[in-house]
Structure 1
């Protein structure tokens, strides 16, 4: 009666790999609601991430604002390091004045839209007191989010040599931030689900920094897949590009259409000739997005109040009734390949704390009481991978009692005991008599 299965790696990989030929050192495609992995290529290889690093800086900033530790209108006075980095036009930057004062929101928008490196360091200093302290927070947060295969050495994604000897303490001049595609996708998954407003800024195609002043500068979003930019893609509203010689051309994208949202990651993307470039990272992203939107649909696999075949009731001991109806508390929905809804079967797992070794529940039983859960399993033996445990829980729903079952009184229990005793005696006699013949 008690059935169990685990959800691990690799759903429909053969089909996805046949349909896609992603030219990148690492890549992954996931459903943004559940984190279900739909396609992956070298997803656990640790690679450079360049400015995709800034997603972690964004996460920590947004978390700090939410907790009241930082305010959007809080003012920042430019440090020597931030000033020097901001004057480097060979790096992505908005120039900042040495004696300037800037709000957290201004710096955040420069970071999220224009990938401004000095503005990012400024945010690190605001939160951590120094970038060195902030980098510690980045690695701590990565661990707290359950990321694997990562290392942060600065807040920006720059190569440490770009700091010209002033990189965060304890890090080497040739070090860079690294992550696996799976870890990058998991960070992006947490970022847009924990702080969905990040997409309002990430989807801003153009903005003028310090508009109306002598310092104004036009910021064009480096995500050229935003609908109004060069490689516009319908529904694209995030998230972060990254480029260095070490990391190559990288991009974490997210797009939403018709109630479906997906997240993609490409690291060191290249074109058909093996050359990296802006176009390559966006075209490889487009392949995955097109595949996802064309081939996947959110389906209700198990309806609300569903009763598993052969397990519509649960035996009850010491109750006025000897069984209780059980069913799912809610429905299970999941993104699946078109036409494969029926490829999944429900699996019942009873709570061992609620049932005895015979699979019986002891009265009294309350209507709505949880007695276990139902999850789903592919009939063809394939296994399903999710970025997070929370994602796995979304394909698992409680099974509850459909009615009250009161505990029987002492007299009824006594009479049942007597009846069972004589029943067992009679069974024993019958077996003995049968044995004579």
Structure 2
């Protein structure tokens, strides 16, 4: 952070969750010597939680299946660590499998984690060719106005400055710049109001049933709320559909250079787990008095990516959200492993009956490898559930489901597809089958 910026502004950004770098820590101590013990304690908390991550077990890459929660009530995992946040959800990114949940449907203020939706819609717009990476994003009056709001993180954007969409998304991701967020929103939605409408429409499409957005930046509003479950759903969609977002969210700092600025401004990421916890590459922090400290994170170890959402963490300790997250990552990688139930390269040995088809029965296959995340000591059973079918059957049609169960709990369910098609048998063949079946019944009655 450049020397010409005010001490007060830098101290405020530290309280908002800036990285505990040497420079920022020194600034905080200069502004308020009384906070020394608190800051050192927060630093030790994060370092303690992170230090145990070095030797955790490494898992493989999971597949895209539907799953339910495994952790709660399971005797096959160690107890979940104590966490301070009001609401938490931890899931496997590729499967959507929930590993831990705590008040995950509680509606709370999301603060700047709201900006994940801004990132999602921006990347979606790039893929839809509505905007271009090198397109200049105007700094609109709304963007200037939001920067003047007390307590808001911003990049001090001037309407005369010209920054590309790529640069603006860096500002949003690294320093949580609300002025950059609103500028991007105005570009994509035509106005802030139009963009908020797109946010809510997209939230519904993603299945974020406990969410309503009132603005793109996360400032407090009675009609602006979300849940840990919904934020995890959004984060999962973001990193799986648009993985290039990780290029932004993994940045530890960003430098803003402009002819209108006397010196380059270097800003440090608000995500304190970047570079501290192995495999963490995002995603978004947030804080307001109403929301408390929030953090939506993601970590990738050995090809297994986890998504975490922590909301309403202890307001008096801004590092606690990272401590909670690191504990959950440690717990998940220690207790769970990936299993490949079917590789997906060949037809299954299972078949399904088609009484009126020419083949009468067809083999089934899976669209992709079937992988699940399970407690390391868990033992389960694969259950085949065929559908009642009538020919004709097209190749690739859903003909049943395979479920993996541990006891009475269904862990994962995937659709089984027809490995080949089956046409409807001719009437005379169906008649012949019926006659021979009747004769067989007469000769060998049951």
Provide closer, same or farther for how the CA distance between residues 326 and 114 of structure 1 changes in structure 2, counting only shifts above 3 A: same
Q: 2:328 aligns to what? A: 288
Residue in structure 1 matching 2:265, options 205, 209, 217: 217
TM normalised by structure 2 equals: 0.75
Is 1:237 matched with 2:273? no
Q: Output one character per residue of 1:395-424: Cα deviation in whole Å (capped at 9) or x when no partner.
A: 4142445798995894x7666655555555
- 1:380: Cα distance to partner? 1.2
Alignment of 1:238-277 (within 5 A): 238-270=282-314, 276-277=316-317
Instruction: Provide the rounded CA distance (Å) in 2 between the counterparts of 1:186 and 1:8.
Output: 13
- 1:207: Cα distance to partner? 1.5
**What secondary structure, in the 3-state scheme, does the structure 1 residue paired with 2:294 have?**
strand
- 1:65: Cα distance to partner? 1.4
- 1:70: Cα distance to partner? 1.3
Q: CA RMSD in A?
A: 3.2
Q: 2:235 aligns to what? A: 188
**What secondary structure, in the 3-state scheme, does the structure 2 residue paired with 1:278 have?**
coil
Q: 1:388 aligns to what? A: none
Is 1:336 matched with 2:374? yes
Q: 1:24 aligns to what? A: 85
- 1:8: Cα distance to partner? 7.4
Is 1:347 matched with 2:347? no
Report which of the two structures shows the higher radius of gyration computed on alpha carbons: 1
- 1:211: Cα distance to partner? 6.3
- 1:10: Cα distance to partner? 3.6
Q: Output one character per residue of 1:196-218: Cα deviation in whole Å (capped at 9) or x when no partner.
A: 00001100001201268526311
Alignment of 1:38-437 (within 5 A): 38-86=99-147, 90-159=151-220, 174-175=221-222, 177-210=224-257, 213-214=261-262, 216-227=264-275, 232-270=276-314, 276-304=316-344, 305=346, 314=353, 319=358, 324=361, 326-329=363-366, 331-340=369-378, 342-343=379-380, 345-352=381-388, 354-355=389-390, 370=397, 372-384=399-411, 395-400=413-418, 410=428, 419-420=436-437
- 1:87: Cα distance to partner? 5.1
- 1:112: Cα distance to partner? 1.0
**What secondary structure, in the 3-state scheme, does the structure 2 residue paired with 1:101 have?**
coil
Instruction: Provide the rounded CA distance (Å) in 2 between the counterparts of 1:10 and 1:244.
Output: 30
**What secondary structure, in the 3-state scheme, does the structure 1 residue paired with 2:79 have?**
helix
- 1:133: Cα distance to partner? 1.7
Work out whether residues 175 and 267 of structure 2, in 8 Å CA contact, stay in contact via their aligned partners in 1: yes
Is 1:11 matched with 2:11? no
Q: 2:56 aligns to what? A: none
- 1:48: Cα distance to partner? 1.1
Instruction: Provide the rounded CA distance (Å) in 1 between the counterparts of 2:116 and 2:194.
Output: 17
Instruction: Provide the rounded CA distance (Å) in 2 between the counterparts of 1:19 and 1:38.
Output: 10
- 1:369: Cα distance to partner? 6.1
Instruction: Provide the rounded CA distance (Å) in 1 between the counterparts of 2:223 and 2:264.
Output: 31
Work out whether residues 249 and 276 of structure 1, in 8 Å CA contact, stay in contact via their aligned partners in 2: no
Instruction: Provide the rounded CA distance (Å) in 2 between the counterparts of 1:59 and 1:119.
Output: 15
- 1:100: Cα distance to partner? 2.8
Work out whether residues 7 and 383 of structure 1, in 8 Å CA contact, stay in contact via their aligned partners in 2: no
Instruction: Provide the rounded CA distance (Å) in 2 between the counterparts of 1:69 and 1:140.
Output: 17
Work out whether residues 138 and 187 of structure 2, in 8 Å CA contact, stay in contact via their aligned partners in 1: no
Provide closer, same or farther for how the CA distance between residues 333 and 62 of structure 1 changes in structure 2, counting only shifts above 3 A: same
Count of aligned positions:
377
Q: Which runs of 5+ in 1 are unaligned?
A: 1-5, 160-173, 356-361, 385-391, 432-437
Instruction: Provide the rounded CA distance (Å) in 2 between the counterparts of 1:406 and 1:175.
Output: 59
